[in-house]
Structure 1
């Protein structure tokens, strides 16, 4: 395939930091344009189109087929210093069902390239298994725009240190239901969703984009389940016109991380997400969420806990499953309820939290001294495999509890002894390269040696250093940062932090950014600056998972009917293609970075996150599809993907409000880490 855009040899580039934007040219003879038309009940027919230059016309080119077609295609081209604004007009001469696509060659050798579709595709998705979208299955992928945190595809040539991106600029207001999810489908109404992606065409990396949506060579319908390709056809009535707009850029970046940074800033500036004008104050959010602390309490087993995992959305009935961290966050919820109970003089919350803390101190540790991190009393089963992430999250919660108590003159020496012992065992677990195994057993034998969860351990190690004044823990934390810098951040390879997937995920980059943020808070001078720089670099990857635009829903899809705006919500991972409210301390990191680097995008977007994540608060008359007040939903299915049930516009039938409540509570309690480090 040929090129539409190339930087001519004689063009002069202007350097802006590490980004060099070249002069962009439109060369219609080298652009591939295709129109696919479908008559219901018949296979679609694809037509290649050819350009014709127009004179004295609003549009610059008309595109025709060798056959007479019922649709006329026009292009308007606005060339700028760093981009092309391409407006496409389709006019129907008769009623017709269509799918329009165009291919743009980058001129880069496909084998020399890494790829980027924000919130879905990073490099070649090689951390993901063949059952999910990745190069293991194909080196060419086209997806519906709603899968992406910005409707953009970028291709980065490592050899040339150059990139090209294409993004869609239209208003995204409509979506339509489809009766099928594969093959050639006719939409029930108008949609705003197009498609975007990349293809290997004769060894050349090529941007592929069009309207309405397509997915190829596979569609991704649920976790680790690829399905046949899909092409959607929209009805265009006789005399009806549709306008579509894309923007194409070229530039230079010294490495993939720099490419992601530049592209996120470009997307942020392009889509300009604004905070939502939500009527729920932080005080009201906490008051409502606190009902979860009361309703979910289970106190009939040796461990007392808030039941917050594997609940049905239509009942929210408590069960026998207690999980210290990850999706349960029992101890963090207990601390949040404890702190809030004292602030609001809620004796019920204080009493419940006391029961939880006392039960875990008495019955919540294994023989070796680790947390019993996942216990199922319904099945009389205790998971013998530990995770560095859950253990770390338990430590994190108890450190906040102890610091809060110490500040008020209350001491808990038994808890302190437990935490010291756990941190000392962490030192034994740590590998020579600074990493921690992802999963292990009570006897320290390794189950999963992957280092992707390492940054979760950094937080309690730094907290342990501050609380106990023990430099060994700080040294250990610094060694984790050495590993993060070498294996994750410098390689732009953030993986397997979430415990129910093995792939590229948001939480690995978010935890990496938070880990180096913690180290920045306790160091000075050049060391402080170094950790701050790492925080900034990792944060761009975490930010890239968060939506900068509002995905449209079809009438009848609950999330759209109740008005959900997706801006500020983060996609989860390549395997788990839904959005959620996982943020915890990340908004604090963004605000801190904003001050450190005088970068207003960070703090502005933190406010977008804060306001947007209030939308699905369940309260009487506004239950948002869950059964109990304060049980904030989790698996928010915003694209044609489901976790097992219900699909776009709904939740999975099973959810885990334990972590959603904890995440939102931290979001609405800013400055915790900085206050802890100041003590």
Structure 2
């Protein structure tokens, strides 16, 4: 049965007997040529037209709804004709996938499968794109829309004092040179999940593409703050990049607005999902879970090799291509093309952690002890000894060693400034190496001294008022230089594990005080400042640090329910960077030729838009968190992450033009830094190192036994 209604003005309204009851959120009434939807918190969102046509010369031509039909299956269809096109919009209630938490356990929401079908009915070809736009209500005074495009855009996205230029949101602004605007549109392949979220004064909403591409080509997502303070969420086919196209540098590229040439009777459909949410900033999490579970594509493991083979290959790569004995270091990079550039293509430098150093020497030592490889064990202990015995005058690690200048602070232009995340990671993994060696009866007093010395600097620099840990230390005195951003989060895991290893409860108390303060950042859904090279940008690495910190704190302090909740929130935020689908690569590209599958890979950050494997650093904590929560979703994501990066570890000399055991840092899934489908032709110590670490630790979990 179908109901139709249209008034004399051409606007539509459902007849009274077709209006859903109050408990049915599907449709409240017809709008001024569109559909008005009601959310779970009595907020509303409006599809203002069936579709909007975007012409080659920049015109926006709405196709208003003239007829609405409500079908017996509960779906609603709206139809309109304008400017030589017919368009049909269909919405059908979307049920959560089997196994998702029930409505009583999940954030309140209402969701629909949607589609817009557009047909050219006038004669003659015309160039046009299509837009689906969902408008929310007005913002409350002082309220921010809370924009989220997973992996790509987080709130304002770039803090005003962030020194790294990349797209930023600011109301009432359009500054292309400064990469700041109140409206942005992007290609879908820049998004870890091609979806856009926002909130108004009553609730929130999301629009999501169900695929990266249609017959019209690459699709896109976007948003805008409209006059009157109404957030608008947008989907585009073909994609649009406005007001500029970002290529990873401080020089904006021109905007891109491709269109499609429509011939008469040509028809295309853009499928999507629409979600109305409550006003919780964390309401994105169950939506992304649903989109992850329902994304199309091959669900078979992407891995080329098993755990043990991946471990053997990456250990070989670290030792053969990155290790140098005089002094013992793991060089940060090794060039694929040894014949053309030789060692001149290798970066003659080693960070103490992050992109080289302690974590990966620890992984190599774990592997060497398990397999009985004396040469690898000697190399790994040599690197750890070299780092541990070269501390700053203030008692911390240095940031980096270079062959030309020796020990220095790292990549910051302030030559006193030591980045706390780099120091914190080095401390944690040196402690883990110490603990593993003690378990087999070997003592390394120099390692223990270095760990204790670094922790002393961290606790001495803890803000007595807030409990926040230093984000940076002075290389001469170890005094804190500031506490901005989330770099200090990296000290928490080291404090927690050292409290147990050294039986010093005061270290756990310091971790608790810090974690209680950083909780506000986690709940605000904005973490930033972890890597040395992107200032106060939000990054996937911030999520890894928070996930590790709160999972370990829950395990050390299980009586406090805050820590498990914060670990879950940190994990959800981290997974916003994780690709839930396989990007399409052209058959002529390297990634296309090798069939690289991106599901399970992480976007590095909105500033560095390439895929990386760094999420493997928190694989053990993610698996244990899944156990603590009794939720296999996190385990599945950890498994996909490890599956993904058991692709592209060179299995033999010549594999993807690399040498055996080499592992690239960057996979270019979009147009940023390099062309889509390219691979960075450098092996990175951390890329091989996190793969080796993940494989060695995964071997100890029953959940991964079949992978060996």
Same fold (TM over 0.5): yes
Q: Judging changes above 3 Å, is the alpha-carbon distance between structure 1 residues 248 and 239 closer, same or farther for their aligned structure 2 residues? A: same
Q: Judging changes above 3 Å, is the alpha-carbon distance between structure 1 residues 531 and 125 closer, same or farther for their aligned structure 2 residues? A: same
**Structure 2 residue matching 1:440: 3-state secondary structure:** strand
Q: CA deviation at 1:672?
A: 9.9
In structure 2, what is the equivalent of residue 180 of structure 1?
Answer: none
Alignment of 1:148-227 (within 5 A): 148-157=191-200, 159-160=201-202, 162-170=203-211, 172=212, 192-203=217-228, 204-227=230-253
Give unmatched runs, 5+ long, in structure 1.
Answer: 175-189
In structure 2, what is the equivalent of residue 139 of structure 1?
Answer: 182
1: CA distance, partners of 2:194 / 2:62: 25
2: CA distance, partners of 1:149 / 1:354: 38
Q: Judging changes above 3 Å, is the alpha-carbon distance between structure 1 residues 498 and 260 closer, same or farther for their aligned structure 2 residues? A: farther
Q: CA deviation at 1:62?
A: 4.2
Q: CA deviation at 1:584?
A: 3.2
1: CA distance, partners of 2:516 / 2:324: 43
TM-score, normalised to structure 1's length? 0.84
Q: CA deviation at 1:96?
A: 4.5
Tell which deviates more after alignment, 113-122 or 430-439.
430-439
In structure 2, what is the equivalent of residue 184 of structure 1?
Answer: none
In structure 1, what is the equivalent of residue 8 of structure 2?
Answer: none
How many pairs were matched up?
A: 628
In structure 2, what is the equivalent of residue 232 of structure 1?
Answer: 258
- 2:317 is equivalent to residue 306 of structure 1: no
**Structure 2 residue matching 1:669: 3-state secondary structure:** helix
In structure 2, what is the equivalent of residue 181 of structure 1?
Answer: none
Alignment of 1:612-631 (within 5 A): 612-620=644-652, 623-624=655-656, 627-631=658-662
CA contact (8 A) 2:225 2:232 kept: yes
2: CA distance, partners of 1:615 / 1:4: 54
Tell which deviates more after alignment, 615-624 or 550-559.
615-624
1: CA distance, partners of 2:646 / 2:517: 36
Q: CA deviation at 1:516?
A: 1.1
CA contact (8 A) 1:439 1:449 kept: yes
Q: CA deviation at 1:231?
A: 0.6
- 2:89 is equivalent to residue 75 of structure 1: yes
- 2:473 is equivalent to residue 440 of structure 1: yes
Tell which deviates more after alignment, 369-378 or 312-321.
312-321
- The one of 102, 106, 116 equivalent to 1:88 is 116
Q: CA deviation at 1:286?
A: 0.8
Q: Judging changes above 3 Å, is the alpha-carbon distance between structure 1 residues 277 and 94 closer, same or farther for their aligned structure 2 residues? A: same
In structure 2, what is the equivalent of residue 49 of structure 1?
Answer: 63
- 2:453 is equivalent to residue 410 of structure 1: no
- 2:121 is equivalent to residue 103 of structure 1: no
Q: Judging changes above 3 Å, is the alpha-carbon distance between structure 1 residues 368 and 47 closer, same or farther for their aligned structure 2 residues? A: closer
In structure 2, what is the equivalent of residue 648 of structure 1?
Answer: 676
CA contact (8 A) 2:246 2:252 kept: yes
Q: Judging changes above 3 Å, is the alpha-carbon distance between structure 1 residues 279 and 135 closer, same or farther for their aligned structure 2 residues? A: closer
In structure 1, what is the equivalent of residue 664 of structure 2?
Answer: 633
Q: CA deviation at 1:548?
A: 0.7
Q: Judging changes above 3 Å, is the alpha-carbon distance between structure 1 residues 134 and 335 closer, same or farther for their aligned structure 2 residues? A: same
Q: Higher relative contact order at CA 8 Å, sep ≥6: structure 1 or structure 2?
A: 1
Q: 1:405-440 deviations in whole A, cap 9, x for unaligned? A: 211112222322332222222221222222222222
- 2:510 is equivalent to residue 476 of structure 1: yes
- 2:377 is equivalent to residue 350 of structure 1: yes
- The one of 345, 368, 372 equivalent to 2:398 is 372
Q: CA deviation at 1:324?
A: 0.8
1: CA distance, partners of 2:498 / 2:296: 40
In structure 1, what is the equivalent of residue 364 of structure 2?
Answer: 337
Q: Judging changes above 3 Å, is the alpha-carbon distance between structure 1 residues 635 and 224 closer, same or farther for their aligned structure 2 residues? A: farther
CA contact (8 A) 1:5 1:104 kept: no
Q: CA deviation at 1:492?
A: 2.2
CA contact (8 A) 2:321 2:662 kept: no
Q: CA deviation at 1:60?
A: 4.3
**Structure 1 residue matching 2:275: 3-state secondary structure:** strand
In structure 2, what is the equivalent of residue 290 of structure 1?
Answer: 315
Q: CA deviation at 1:568?
A: 0.6
**Structure 2 residue matching 1:573: 3-state secondary structure:** coil
- The one of 386, 395, 406 equivalent to 2:427 is 395
Tell which deviates more after alignment, 243-252 or 537-546.
243-252
Q: CA deviation at 1:207?
A: 1.6
2: CA distance, partners of 1:456 / 1:27: 43
**Structure 1 residue matching 2:253: 3-state secondary structure:** strand
CA contact (8 A) 1:106 1:205 kept: yes
2: CA distance, partners of 1:448 / 1:648: 38
Q: CA deviation at 1:275?
A: 5.0
TM-score, normalised to structure 2's length? 0.81
- The one of 625, 629, 635 equivalent to 1:593 is 625
Query: What is the RMSD of the two structures over their aligned residues, measured on CA atoms?
Result: 3.3
2: CA distance, partners of 1:87 / 1:361: 59
2: CA distance, partners of 1:495 / 1:585: 18
2: CA distance, partners of 1:376 / 1:60: 65
Alignment of 1:4-19 (within 5 A): 11-12=22-23
CA contact (8 A) 2:583 2:597 kept: yes
**Structure 1 residue matching 2:271: 3-state secondary structure:** strand
In structure 1, what is the equivalent of residue 81 of structure 2?
Answer: 64
